[in-house]
Amino acid sequence: MTTRARHSHHRRPGRPREEATEQAITAAARQVLADKGVARMSMEHVAARAGVAKSTLYRRWPSKVELAVHAVAATFDEIEVGDHGSLAADMRSGIEEAARLLRDPSTGGAYAALLAESARDPEGVGTQVRESLSTRLHALVATSVARAIERGEIQPDMVDVDLLADVVVGSVMHRSLATGVPDQAFVDGLIELLADVAYARLHRAAVAASAARATD
Amino acid sequence: MTTRARHSHHRRPGRPREEATEQAITAAARQVLADKGVARMSMEHVAARAGVAKSTLYRRWPSKVELAVHAVAATFDEIEVGDHGSLAADMRSGIEEAARLLRDPSTGGAYAALLAESARDPEGVGTQVRESLSTRLHALVATSVARAIERGEIQPDMVDVDLLADVVVGSVMHRSLATGVPDQAFVDGLIELLADVAYARLHRAAVAASAARATD
Amino acid sequence: MTTRARHSHHRRPGRPREEATEQAITAAARQVLADKGVARMSMEHVAARAGVAKSTLYRRWPSKVELAVHAVAATFDEIEVGDHGSLAADMRSGIEEAARLLRDPSTGGAYAALLAESARDPEGVGTQVRESLSTRLHALVATSVARAIERGEIQPDMVDVDLLADVVVGSVMHRSLATGVPDQAFVDGLIELLADVAYARLHRAAVAASAARATD
Amino acid sequence: MTTRARHSHHRRPGRPREEATEQAITAAARQVLADKGVARMSMEHVAARAGVAKSTLYRRWPSKVELAVHAVAATFDEIEVGDHGSLAADMRSGIEEAARLLRDPSTGGAYAALLAESARDPEGVGTQVRESLSTRLHALVATSVARAIERGEIQPDMVDVDLLADVVVGSVMHRSLATGVPDQAFVDGLIELLADVAYARLHRAAVAASAARATD
DNA sequence: TCCTAACCGAGACGGTACGTCCTGTCTTATG
DNA sequence: CATAAGACAGGACGTACCGTCTCGGTTAGGA
């Protein structure tokens, strides 16, 4: 990713890193994270489970939190934002995907814990959490909307994507962690809510257009 | 919460608890929480700052998390859900109050951290977090809606209060911690979004009513 | 030893230290020290063998070196400087005692290692090593000489006790660690050497006395 | 020590070792040793200061201790045992040289630390320490005595060189590390002590000779 | 002129220990 | 009984080294 590395096919000096190691650590971290949560996940434990020395962990990640971010990111990497033909279908799929991810207490809890860490270090951990976690969740909504605009279903000025993304992700997360699990009724309710927003905006646009025609 | 003990005139045997102590501890805990966040808040540190022995802490709260919940609850106790005359005004006030609370990284971060803990122990910590934190945030929305129903602005079946509350609180929280601070534009956008939902539902109700009249 | 503690029979506040613990740690440290030497003795290992938490070690000794000093001092505490009736006999006994102690590579090696540490920190570790180890070895010679002076065997100005002590302890130590074990021949040789010094000084004193008589 | 390899004209295959490297490492090691002592000297640090890879160190010395021995030996190589015309003068010079070397805490401490290591491994490290360090210190005394015998000042059976050497080196070392720095008074006292031994032995030899003459 | 063996730097790796910090429990003496 | 004080078992943190290893690349002599 760094410029130097990109346009250079010369390998870095020194013994290259063991390829399998990173995967082993990531897998171990994900397991421990699922078992114990961010707070009780220990580098010692992860190293042992990965069959790796603790120093190897610290060579690759500066601290426990960074490793946790990486491990959760690995889970979020599974996010698929498929094309379902319409904004409505895409949104439903996005919300259900978010619900699927955050419903699992280990994933939802980990995400919340890392957001909490972000609050303490907005530049360091915060940036990483944003770049490798939050954006990925936001993509669930953002790409749906982008596709809808391409299809001509909606106009770009009709929706604030960032707001919408925070609404979707935030709602699902809060429901998952604070109020109860995001069941089908909740998902339906949320979709209906968003559908009503769309209805109102399209309706108002149509009224405005007919008014403009009348003025002619 | 400790009203039961206070109001009882059957005093427990032995030396009674120092009244000032609880306040001192709470104050100290809130400070430490603001300085370091839940993860790095330590009972040792809180005790020292409160000028109190560690055992006094554990006599009153079974563990660090419970004390943290108590300390955050003390902040959430400041929530005021005033009557502003209309649903729209009440909602705006509620959202702004939520934004005010969660914008502070120490409060927002602490709430997220405690939600994360809830994920690990939904019955113990989870219940406490729900009862003394989440409900209080939900109240921001719930009482507004209840009042609107009383006033006859809306019908009870027109809105799922729990859903709405999760949407408001969740959106504001996620914006605060993940995407950026909930500034005025965000608050306005969120209000507009909810207003559009109301518009759609009222509009549809009106259409349905006129259709019903026509059928007569 | 501190003034406050001395004239106070009031116990220090807080839970008193477990009496058995210090002995268990000392014993464990001495064993580990004998097995591995100062450099390879580990606090982890000592704690485990003593059946005690590592934090208990650090509560009592600020670092590994101090504990090692304490452990070696416990061995040196066995030093007995008995009265054998004459300076010659006392000296022989003292030298043999020194040889007995330092011949054991674990004790001799530990003492050397701690002297090496003293060189790095003459005020901290250095003072402790001097006060609890070196003085105890010096006592082997110093008390013998003091007794001889009491008995009238020699005059106080005939011998520099500090020098003599360094000669005895240093010779035995260097022989133990560098050249070979201090066997009987070595001990005999050293005693003979010291006896010759005494002979020379007494002889010269006698000559001087008769010369003085002659001058009268 | 490496003379065998150097004198051989059957050069080993492959790239020859960089000549300057060994000196750079030795110099760096001596500096680090002086700064931190044997225990805190680290191969990593020495390599960095010498501007050399860690593997280069291990290619030449099997472990840290051996390098330390080598570095101290480089200091001891400065020992000069000049001829000062008489045993007394040579001994004074030898003692002063020993005091000069061991007075420096870094040298004295290093020597003690390596003696301590010897105790743990008498055959491996022990042999090296003996051969390249202790013998060199013993030489301070041994050559003086040898020269005195050549000159006819004393008879070979009058003195146990090994004993004498341990006495001189051990005394100076112990004084340097444990009791205080070997100042002029100490050196004078030690010389006087040895002079008295000589006096006693020569005197007794003379008495015995005259007794033998009388018996004739 | 290539080949080969050893050198060198860089740095990853498995380990081990350090000394610090904190948790939650306990044991005292005193109010 | 509450409280201050602090000992205790336990556990994790992040750091620092050790000695080994695996690379790419260098530098000679011998084929």
Give the best residue of B111, B171, B186, B190 to mutate against chain A (max A CB count within 10 A).
Answer: B171
- Tell me the pLDDT tens digit for each residue of A66-100: 999 999 999 999 898 899 999 999 999 999 999 99
Query: What pLDDT is recorded for position B6?
Result: 43
Q: Report whether D165 contacts D142 (CB < 8 A).
A: yes
DSSP E strand boundaries for chain B: none
Residues B139-168 as b/e (b if ≥16 CB within 10 A, e otherwise) read bbbbbbbebbbeeebbeeebbbbbbbbbbb
**Which sign, positive or negative, has the C-alpha torsion C178, C184, C187, C189?**
negative
Which nucleotide is nearest, taking the CA of residue C60 and each C1'? Answer: F7
Query: What pLDDT is recorded for position A6?
Result: 39
Query: What pLDDT is recorded for position A4?
Result: 40
Q: Report whether D121 contacts D149 (CB < 8 A).
A: no
> How many Å does it take to go from CA D31 to C1' F18?
20
Quick one: pLDDT band at residue B110, thresholds 50, 70, 90?
Answer: very high
Q: CA A140, CA A169: separation in Å to the nearest integer?
A: 9
Q: Do C174 and D175 touch (CB under 8 A)?
A: no
Fold (topology level) of C83-215: Tetracycline Repressor; domain 2 (1.10.357)
Q: How big is chain C, counted in residues? A: 216
**CA-wise closest residue to D89 among D153, D137, D136:** D153
CB contacts under 8 A, B 22-41 vs A, are 36-40
Residues 6+ apart with CB under 8 A from B152: none
- Tell me the pLDDT tens digit for each residue of C41-64: 999 999 999 999 999 999 999 999
- Tell me the pLDDT tens digit for each residue of B26-40: 999 999 999 999 999
Q: Report whether A117 contacts A66 (CB < 8 A).
A: no
Is the pLDDT confidence value at B14 over 80? no
Query: What pLDDT is recorded for position D214?
Result: 81
User: C109 CB near a chain D CB, below 8 Å?
Assistant: yes
Chains in touch with B (≥3 Cβ pairs < 8 A):
A
Query: Residue ranges of the domains in chain D?
Result: 14-71, 74-207
D-chain residue closest to C165, CA distance:
D171
Q: CA B27, CA B180: separation in Å to the nearest integer?
A: 28
Mean pLDDT of chain D: 92
Fold (topology level) of A81-215: Tetracycline Repressor; domain 2 (1.10.357)
- Tell me the pLDDT tens digit for each residue of D68-94: 999 999 999 989 889 999 999 999 999
Is the pLDDT confidence value at A7 over 80? no
> How many Å does it take to go from CA B2 to C1' E26?
27
Calculate mean pLDDT across residues B78-101. Answer: 93
Q: Report whether B125 contacts B114 (CB < 8 A).
A: yes
Quick one: pLDDT band at residue D8, thresholds 50, 70, 90?
Answer: very low
Q: Report whether A82 contacts A93 (CB < 8 A).
A: yes
Quick one: pLDDT band at residue B2, thresholds 50, 70, 90?
Answer: very low
Which residues in chain A touch residue B186, judged by CB atoms under 8 angstroms apart? 163, 166
Architecture label for domain B80-215 = Orthogonal Bundle (1.10)
> How many Å does it take to go from CA D3 to C1' E2?
33
The DSSP code for C133 is I
Weakest-pLDDT range from B87-91, B142-146, B207-211, C46-50: B207-211
- Tell me the pLDDT tens digit for each residue of B132-191: 999 999 999 999 999 999 999 988 988 999 999 999 999 999 999 999 999 999 999 999
- Tell me the pLDDT tens digit for each residue of B47-86: 999 999 999 999 999 999 999 999 999 999 989 889 999 9
Which nucleotide is nearest, taking the CA of residue A18 and each C1'? Answer: E12
- Tell me the pLDDT tens digit for each residue of D172-216: 999 999 999 999 999 999 999 999 999 999 898 888 888 888 876
**Which sign, positive or negative, has the C-alpha torsion D31, D34, D36, D40?**
positive
> How many Å does it take to go from CA B43 to C1' F6?
15
Calculate mean pLDDT across residues A199-207. Answer: 89
Architecture label for domain C11-60 = Orthogonal Bundle (1.10)
Class (C level, CATH) for D14-71: mainly alpha
Quick one: pLDDT band at residue B1, thresholds 50, 70, 90?
Answer: very low
Q: Collapsing DSSP states into helix, strand and coil, what is residue D164? A: helix
Q: Report whether D162 contacts D63 (CB < 8 A).
A: no
Calculate mean pLDDT across residues A193-214. Answer: 89
Is the pLDDT confidence value at A196 over 50? yes
Which residues in chain A touch residue B172, judged by CB atoms under 8 angstroms apart? 170
Give the best residue of B118, B174, B201, B207 to mutate against chain A (max A CB count within 10 A).
Answer: B174
Q: Collapsing DSSP states into helix, strand and coil, what is residue B63? A: coil
Report percent pLDDT > 70 for chain A. 95
The DSSP-derived string for D30-63 is HHHHHHHHHHH--HHHHHHHHT--HHHHHHH-SS
The CATH code of domain D74-207 reads 1.10.357.10
Q: Do C109 and D129 touch (CB under 8 A)?
A: no
Residues 6+ apart with CB under 8 A from C109: C37, C38, C177, D115, D116, D117, D118, D119, D120
What are A135's two structure tokens? Answer: 């954006």
User: A200 CB near a chain B CB, below 8 Å?
Assistant: yes
Q: Do C110 and D116 touch (CB under 8 A)?
A: yes
**Which sign, positive or negative, has the C-alpha torsion C29, C31, C32, C35?**
positive
Q: Report whether D101 contacts D109 (CB < 8 A).
A: no
Query: What pLDDT is recorded for position B214?
Result: 80
Which residues in chain B touch residue A105, judged by CB atoms under 8 angstroms apart? 119-120, 122
Of A40, A169, A178, nearest to B115 by CB-CB distance is A178
Query: What pLDDT is recorded for position A59?
Result: 97
Is the pLDDT confidence value at D111 over 60? yes
Give the best residue of C41, C173, C186, C192 to mutate against chain D (max D CB count within 10 A).
Answer: C173
**CA-wise closest residue to B59 among B126, B12, B106:** B12
Query: What pLDDT is recorded for position B216?
Result: 65
Quick one: pLDDT band at residue A211, thresholds 50, 70, 90?
Answer: confident
Q: Rounded to a whole number, what is the distance in Å from the CA of C128 to chain D's nearest CA?
A: 10
- Tell me the pLDDT tens digit for each residue of C188-213: 999 999 999 999 998 988 888 888 88
Which residues in chain C touch residue D157, judged by CB atoms under 8 angstroms apart? none
Chain F bases closer than 7 angstroms to a protein Cβ? 1-30
**CA-wise closest residue to C33 among C63, C61, C58, C69:** C69
Is the pLDDT confidence value at B4 over 60? no
Quick one: pLDDT band at residue D149, thresholds 50, 70, 90?
Answer: very high
Confirm or reject CATH 1.10.10.60 for domain A17-73, answering yes or no: yes
Q: CA B65, CA A116: separation in Å to the nearest integer?
A: 14
Q: Collapsing DSSP states into helix, strand and coil, what is residue C194? A: helix
Weakest-pLDDT range from B16-20, C34-38, C152-156, D53-57: B16-20
Query: What pLDDT is recorded for position D11?
Result: 66
More confidently predicted of D186 and B210: D186
- Tell me the pLDDT tens digit for each residue of D33-50: 999 999 999 999 999 999
Calculate mean pLDDT across residues D119-131. Answer: 95
Is the pLDDT confidence value at B7 over 50? no
Query: What pLDDT is recorded for position B42?
Result: 98
The DSSP-derived string for A110-159 is HHHHHHHHHHH-TTTHHHHHIIIIIHHHHHHHHHHHHHHHHHTSS-GGG-
Query: What pLDDT is recorded for position D208?
Result: 87
D-chain residue closest to C186, CA distance:
D163
Chain E bases closer than 7 angstroms to a protein Cβ? 4-31
Q: Do B196 and A201 touch (CB under 8 A)?
A: yes
What are D17's two structure tokens? Answer: 């070792």
Q: CA B36, CA B14: separation in Å to the nearest integer?
A: 36
User: D49 CB near a chain C CB, below 8 Å?
Assistant: no
The CATH code of domain B14-60 reads 1.10.10.60
Query: What pLDDT is recorded for position B13?
Result: 67
Is the pLDDT confidence value at C5 over 50? no
Closest residue, by C-alpha, to the C1' of F18 = D43
Q: CA B197, CA A62: separation in Å to the nearest integer?
A: 46
Of A119, A122, A193, nearest to B197 by CB-CB distance is A193
Q: Rounded to a whole number, what is the distance in Å from the CA of D193 to chain C's nearest CA?
A: 6
Q: CA B62, CA B45: separation in Å to the nearest integer?
A: 17
Query: What pLDDT is recorded for position C99?
Result: 97
Is the pLDDT confidence value at A104 over 80? yes
Q: CA D64, CA D48: separation in Å to the nearest integer?
A: 15
- Tell me the pLDDT tens digit for each residue of B185-198: 999 999 999 999 99
Q: Do domains A17-73 and A81-215 have the same CATH topology?
A: no
Quick one: pLDDT band at residue C214, thresholds 50, 70, 90?
Answer: confident
Query: What pLDDT is recorded for position B11?
Result: 61
Which residues in chain D touch residue C173, judged by CB atoms under 8 angstroms apart? 170, 173-174
Calculate mean pLDDT across residues A197-211. Answer: 89
Query: What pLDDT is recorded for position C116?
Result: 97
Query: What pLDDT is recorded for position A9?
Result: 52
Calculate mean pLDDT across residues D141-159. Answer: 93
What are B145's two structure tokens? Answer: 């809606």
Quick one: pLDDT band at residue B208, thresholds 50, 70, 90?
Answer: confident
CB contacts under 8 A, C 131-190 vs D, are 133-134, 138, 160, 162-163, 165-167, 169-175, 177-179, 186, 189-190
Is the pLDDT confidence value at A207 over 50? yes
